[in-house]
């Protein structure tokens, strides 16, 4: 399996074309027919209704598409800081997938998270990464998107952290029983094993991503 297709087929969110992994979708997006041209926002904005505070707007067509925010410099920075750990973690996950595949029979036999579970997680991280890239390319975010991405990031963190925590815990228990047999006196602190497994760092990274997306959610308002 090459780096190109390890993420599996992924669908372009703008035109629906199925591409070969995250690299394939990046290549496609340079010429995607469904992508809004850069001038889209300039063209559309004068047509949008001016809404006075407290006014209820009924029957406005295209409201769903036109509501959203342009990202200012601060917003761009926040999304960049979200994108970086997502990218790094997605690559880490991708690199671990071949091993997950090999150990899948053991995982299944023990009812641990399977290769499919890890693969699904990796796809979700890739989806989040691509969404960040799309937001950065368009310097614009639709009103509902940040909240959805924020929720997605929470499910990613919860799965990934708990699965790694379980792995660390199993190793810790295994070492503890080994130590009992060997009457070895070296310390085996659970906290140390969690650190060896990178759990605190993993949790920290995802909390940072979630905070960033919460910021974007809070700062997304209807376009003025």
Binding site for Zn ion (CB under 5 A): 12, 14-15, 17, 32, 34
Angle value at C-alpha 142, between 138 and 148, nearest 5 degrees: 115
Residue 17 or 165 having the CB closest to Zn ion: 17
Minimum distance of Zn ion from residue 32's CB (angstroms): 3
The sign one gets for the Cα dihedral 98, 102, 106, 108 is: positive
- The residue behind tokens 């989806």 is 127
Least Å distance between CB 108 and Zn ion?
Answer: 36
Q: How far is the CB of 12 from Zn ion (least distance, A)?
A: 3
| Buried b / exposed e along 60-93 (16+ C-beta atoms within 10 A) | eeeeeebbbbebeeebeebbeebbebbbebbeeb
Neighbouring C-alpha atoms within 13 Å toward the C-beta of 56: 2
Contact of 80 with 208, CB cutoff 8 Å = no
**How far is residue 157 from each of residues 18, 193, 218, measured CA to CA in Å?**
27, 19, 20
Instruction: Report in angstroms how near the CB of residue 28 gets to Zn ion at its nearest.
Output: 6
Nearer to Zn ion among residue 15 and residue 57 (C-beta) = 15
Q: How far is the CB of 27 from Zn ion (least distance, A)?
A: 11
Of 29 and 90, nearer to Zn ion (C-beta) is: 29
Query: Quick one: 34 or 222, whose CB is closer to Zn ion?
Result: 34
């Amino acid at each position: 399996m090459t780096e190109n297709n390890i993420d599996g087929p992924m669908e372009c969110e703008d035109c629906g074309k199925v591409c070969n992994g995250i690299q394939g979708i990046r290549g496609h997006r340079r010429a995607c027919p469904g992508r809004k041209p850069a001038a889209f926002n300039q063209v559309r904005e004068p047509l949008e209704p001016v809404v006075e505070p407290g006014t209820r707007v009924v029957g406005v067509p295209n409201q769903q598409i036109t509501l959203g925010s342009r990202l200012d410099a601060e917003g761009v920075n926040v999304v960049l800081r979200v994108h970086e750990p997502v990218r790094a973690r997605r690559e880490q996950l991708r690199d671990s997938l071949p091993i997950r595949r090999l150990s899948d029979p053991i995982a299944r036999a023990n009812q641990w998270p399977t290769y499919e579970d890890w693969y699904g997680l990796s796809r979700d991280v890739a989806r989040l990464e691509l969404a960040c890239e799309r937001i950065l390319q368009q310097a614009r975010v639709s009103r509902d998107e940040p909240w959805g991405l924020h929720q997605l990031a929470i499910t990613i963190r919860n799965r990934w952290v708990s699965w790694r925590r379980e792995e660390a815990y199993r190793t810790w228990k295994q070492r503890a029983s080994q130590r009992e047999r060997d009457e070895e006196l070296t310390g085996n602190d659970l906290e140390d094993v969690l650190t060896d497994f990178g759990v605190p760092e993993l949790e920290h990274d995802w909390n940072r991503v979630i905070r960033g997306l919460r910021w974007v959610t809070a700062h997304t308002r209807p376009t003025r």
